[in-house]
A and B are shown apart, each in its own frame.
Chain A
Amino acid sequence: MAEELKLVRGYPEYMRKSIERVEASRPRRLEEGPPPGMSLEEREELLKKYHPDYAPGGKRPLVAGPNKGEVAPNEVADLLEAYPLLEPGELELKVDFDVDILILGGGLAGTMAAIWAHEQGVPPDRILLATKLRHGDSNSIMAQGGTQAADKPYDSPTIHFLDAMGGGHFTNKPDVLKALVEDAPFIVKWLTELGCLFDRDENGEFVEEWGGGTSRPRMHAARDYTGMEELRVIRDEFRSRGFGLLEFYPAVELLTDPKGRVAGAVLWNMETDEYKVVRAKAVVLATGGFGRLHIRGFPTTNHYGATADGLVLAYRAGALLRDLDTVQYHPTGAAYPQQIVGLLITEKVRGLGAQVVNRDGEAFVFPLEPRDVEAAAIIRECYDRENCLVTPTGLRGVWLDSPMIEEIHGEGTIERRLPAMFRMYQRFGIDMRRDPILVFPTLHYQNGGVETDPWGRTNVEGLFVAGEVTGGVHGKNRLMGNSTLDCLVFGRRAGIAAAEYVKGKKAPQTVTLDHLKGFVEELRAAGVPEERRSPMLLPDYRGKRVLARMIDLL
């Protein structure tokens, strides 16, 4: 379709007039600075009216399980209120792998858990990490903006604490949040000693930037490849230590012992369909979030495997969830071109000074509000005030005035500090140094999840959790730079706690799927339709025409 349109430097010609208005207002906006930030009351009002979490029709109370009666997004409820892929009694549970600690998930949190369990003395061959895709295929590796750590003299862990509390609408679990902010400087130190390259200035000092909702600049970035740099360093460390690793082996169910303690998992080889039984004294669940459920029909920044599998498995084993009712929509996802819709435009772009402006070139919101507030303001501009652009495929968006960055910090800043963004837009014919980019909110993060204490322990014995699958630390809205930090801090803590837990413990005598029985009965009693199954494992984007003619013969 776009072929019919005349493109001028990557944009349809009809958008050029608006870009000219953005250019025309730029000197004035640079001079005046962004519009003022909102008060807590103004934020509340905006959220109630425009944030997708508050719009009616998106959520429902759960009919079964430990959180029965609490609300969750429909897409999540559909998976939590679903029958297992395996029936208890269907499989012979003969043990294939016998380990001390089984880690599920290969992002930052899972990898940290392995390394730190090893640091506590668990031998590497007694630790097995299993992951659905490749080791590293995760939201962690896509994290761009940075990792928060209050390590400058003008800052402190308590200020970091307060910022995160405010961002989370004062619903964060305080003891867990304290652990997050207190461990942050140590994590930065530890990573640096492993050879992780955070951005430094010419004097060798860390460059620390602002993030939305932070009252001090404390964002440690590695260009805009922060998560990738952190992940590839600790993955390299993991690979040097000789842990067990199974890739393309998602867990399809947890196993329990007769006392209801978590005692391993059933894994499934996605390529051969063979299942494997892992017996473990402890399981660390680090399976990430739910972006690929496309809550409320939003596109997502998340990786291909972000389908909430861990939530589902933990819930069936009796784990309590919390704060599932809020979903983080990142304010700035790409809205154009069509090939990259929904992909993340890091908050660092705004941290470096780019303003969010409408069709007429007017800045309409302070660029560094907490994410939910910023996203709501953009939705208001597009769907209520209608001061937006409409793309050739019918998407709405506003401008993120990226050329301001070059004006503020000097030519070459974008290529140097945002190479991933620059490269992506170049691939599709847009020069973000010269032209603004079109953005709209995109589904980004699972704020809630499995409830945990400061050491990754859950209400289910033997089950530890870390990273996006958990709930509590961010309350009802996470701030930028606290997710990679969350994975690093609580991956480490869960690894340490699991190592402590397995010390001197005997392997579980028997492993069963018995915990499913009661849950399945509850589902039947609630009238949940039999065909509803989970975990989902992978989303499906196949063409409708092909699906209509697909037959299964082999």
Chain B
Amino acid sequence: MDRIKEANRAVTTGIDDSAVKHWVTVYIMGKGYRVPADITIMQAMEYAGYRFVRGAGCRAGFCGACATVYRTAGDWRLKTALACQTRVEDGMFLVQIPFTPAEKPAYDIEEEPADGTPLLKYFPEVARCVACNTCTKACPQDLEVMDYIQAALRGDLAAVAELSFDCIQCGLCAMRCPAEITHYHVAQLARRLYGRTLPVPKHVLDRVEEIESGKYEDEFEKLLSMSREELEELYRKEQREKGGLNSRDASRVTRNGQGER
């Protein structure tokens, strides 16, 4: 255990710089800091002395809290990144954009027609899209943001859902858009509307009904009255017969893809 703890010290308590040989300089809101090369922007800001309140969330690329814009020396382009998923570069000038002011309209999804019309009803500004593609360039997830806005204009819910699915709602697209669209809110509504067009599979409805009708009550009663030893025995038997944890069976099913049986 001690060896594991020691090996992870930099990750769990902050970077120890005594062994660092390579350094870069980054400018956090214009102020220069010398930080170890090859760490993330988030790690670099912490190394420099920042303790995040805003600007850090999941720290793994799923939440969009650490949206960052930056320029590098000698490059005119404004770039975007997630601070937790991007390495520092020498001469990086950066600032975080931890919040995007954007109003989300209220709607009752069950009352809305499951087609493209609610998109333009709630987000008429989508029609102002000038197809400049700035949103796409701003997206740290590399999504085709402009394409899904165009799909929203056409009312193609399936296309919006597909193209926007990996959106983490960081807001960088909305901050860059000259037409002042809040892309991620548009996409959220479109995905929900698209989801409304897909029926709940019958086996799910059937199972819910079975449970509500008390079909499993007897079996549960038996399970709940069993001793630990009896449960263990049943578990063994179940695993042995049905073979879920039996390797040969599981690998066969895994290889077949969906594991239908």
Say yes or no: A178-B106 contact (C-beta < 8 A), given A137-B57, A298-B12, A341-B11.
Answer: no
Q: Is A501 an interface residue (CB 8 A)?
A: no
A178 touches B224 (CB 8 A): yes
By beta carbon, the residue of chain A nearest B218 is A158
Q: Which of A175-220 contact B (CB under 8 A)?
A: 175, 178, 182, 185-186, 188-189, 192-197, 200-201, 204-210, 213-217
A210 touches B216 (CB 8 A): no
A396 touches B7 (CB 8 A): yes
Q: Is A542 an interface residue (CB 8 A)?
A: yes
Interface string of B48-90 (1 = CB under 8 A from A): 1111111011111111010000000000000000000111000
B235 touches A166 (CB 8 A): yes
A239 touches B106 (CB 8 A): yes
Complex CA gap A25/B201 in Å reads 40
Complex CA gap A141/B192 in Å reads 17
Cβ 8 A contact of A542, one of B46, B108, B243 = B46
Report B-chain residues with C-beta under 8 Å of the C-beta of A133.
Answer: 57, 65
Q: Which of B31-46 contact A (CB under 8 A)?
A: 37-40, 43, 46
Least CB distance from B168 to A in Å reads: 7
Report A-chain residues with C-beta under 8 Å of the C-beta of B49.
Answer: 542-543, 546-547, 550
Report A-chain residues with C-beta under 8 Å of the C-beta of B12.
Answer: 294, 297-300
Least CB distance from B174 to A in Å reads: 15
Cβ 8 A contact of A424, one of B61, B105, B161, B231 = B61
A208 touches B195 (CB 8 A): no
- How many residues of chain A get a CB closer than 8 Å to chain B's CBs? 127
Q: Is B128 an interface residue (CB 8 A)?
A: no
Cβ 8 A contact of B196, one of A195, A205, A299 = A195
By beta carbon, the residue of chain B nearest A143 is B62
Complex CA gap A158/B231 in Å reads 12
Least CB distance from B244 to A in Å reads: 3
Binds B, one of A12-20, A29-37, A97-105, A313-321: A29-37
Q: Is A511 an interface residue (CB 8 A)?
A: no
Least CB distance from B116 to A in Å reads: 14
Binds A, one of B129-137, B147-155, B205-213: B205-213
Least CB distance from B222 to A in Å reads: 9
Complex CA gap A36/B3 in Å reads 30
Q: Is A92 an interface residue (CB 8 A)?
A: no
Q: Which of A423-443 contact B (CB under 8 A)?
A: 423-424, 427-428
Least CB distance from B39 to A in Å reads: 6
Interface string of B89-133 (1 = CB under 8 A from A): 000000000000000111111100000000000000000000000
Report A-chain residues with C-beta under 8 Å of the C-beta of B110.
Answer: 193
B169 touches A232 (CB 8 A): yes
Interface string of B1-17 (1 = CB under 8 A from A): 10111111111111111
Q: Is B234 an interface residue (CB 8 A)?
A: yes
Say yes or no: A170-B165 contact (C-beta < 8 A), given A36-B246, A182-B211, A342-B8.
Answer: no
Least CB distance from A111 to B in Å reads: 14
Least CB distance from B72 to A in Å reads: 17
B165 touches A223 (CB 8 A): yes
Q: Which of A140-171 contact B (CB under 8 A)?
A: 141-142, 149-154, 156-159, 161-163, 165-166, 170
Report B-chain residues with C-beta under 8 Å of the C-beta of A543.
Answer: 14-15, 17, 46-49
A237 touches B166 (CB 8 A): no
A161 touches B223 (CB 8 A): yes
Report A-chain residues with C-beta under 8 Å of the C-beta of B30.
Answer: none
B165 touches A1 (CB 8 A): no
Q: Which of B160-194 contact A (CB under 8 A)?
A: 161, 165-166, 168-169, 188-189, 191-194
Say yes or no: A189-B62 contact (C-beta < 8 A), given A174-B224, A366-B245, A423-B141.
Answer: no
Q: Is A228 an interface residue (CB 8 A)?
A: yes
By beta carbon, the residue of chain A nearest B17 is A545
Report A-chain residues with C-beta under 8 Å of the C-beta of B205.
Answer: 189
Q: Is B29 an interface residue (CB 8 A)?
A: no
Q: Which of A9-52 contact B (CB under 8 A)?
A: 33-37, 40, 52
Cβ 8 A contact of B10, one of A182, A227, A393 = A393
Complex CA gap A338/B242 in Å reads 41
Report A-chain residues with C-beta under 8 Å of the C-beta of B39.
Answer: 338-339
B253 touches A185 (CB 8 A): no
Report B-chain residues with C-beta under 8 Å of the C-beta of A408.
Answer: 254-255, 257
Say yes or no: A240-B106 contact (C-beta < 8 A), given A297-B5, A409-B257.
Answer: yes
Report A-chain residues with C-beta under 8 Å of the C-beta of B192.
Answer: 194-196, 233, 236
Report A-chain residues with C-beta under 8 Å of the C-beta of B22.
Answer: 1, 3-4
Cβ 8 A contact of A175, one of B198, B224, B228 = B224
A40 touches B261 (CB 8 A): no
Say yes or no: A137-B58 contact (C-beta < 8 A), given A232-B169, A342-B11.
Answer: yes
Report A-chain residues with C-beta under 8 Å of the C-beta of B7.
Answer: 393-396
Complex CA gap A215/B248 in Å reads 13
Report B-chain residues with C-beta under 8 Å of the C-beta of A369.
Answer: 245
Least CB distance from B42 to A in Å reads: 9
Report B-chain residues with C-beta under 8 Å of the C-beta of A207.
Answer: 258
Interface string of A373-397 (1 = CB under 8 A from B): 0000001000100000000011110
List of 8 A-B pairs having minimum Cβ-Cβ separation, nearest first: A297-B5, A215-B244, A195-B192, A195-B195, A33-B251, A217-B259, A546-B49, A543-B47
29 A–B contacts from the bound complex (CB under 8 Å): A34-B251, A36-B247, A151-B201, A151-B207, A157-B207, A159-B238, A170-B231, A178-B224, A189-B200, A189-B205, A195-B193, A197-B161, A200-B198, A208-B258, A216-B259, A225-B166, A227-B62, A240-B104, A297-B1, A339-B87, A341-B8, A343-B60, A366-B250, A408-B257, A538-B51, A541-B43, A544-B17, A545-B17, A547-B49
Query: Apart from A3-B22, A133-B65, A215-B244, what are 4 other A-B pairs with CB-CB below 8 Å?
Result: A1-B38, A174-B224, A182-B216, A236-B192
Residues of B within 8 A of A (CB): 1, 3-17, 19-22, 37-40, 43, 46-54, 56-63, 65, 85-87, 104-110, 141-142, 161, 165-166, 168-169, 188-189, 191-196, 198-201, 203-205, 207-208, 211, 216, 219-220, 223-224, 228, 231-232, 234-236, 238-239, 242-248, 250-255, 257-261
Residues of A within 8 A of B (CB): 1-4, 33-37, 40, 52, 55, 57-58, 133-134, 136-137, 141-142, 149-154, 156-159, 161-163, 165-166, 170, 174-175, 178, 182, 185-186, 188-189, 192-197, 200-201, 204-210, 213-217, 222-223, 225, 227-229, 232-233, 236-237, 239-242, 248, 270-271, 294, 296-301, 303-304, 338-344, 351-353, 366, 368-369, 379, 383, 393-396, 408-409, 419-420, 423-424, 427-428, 538, 540-547, 550
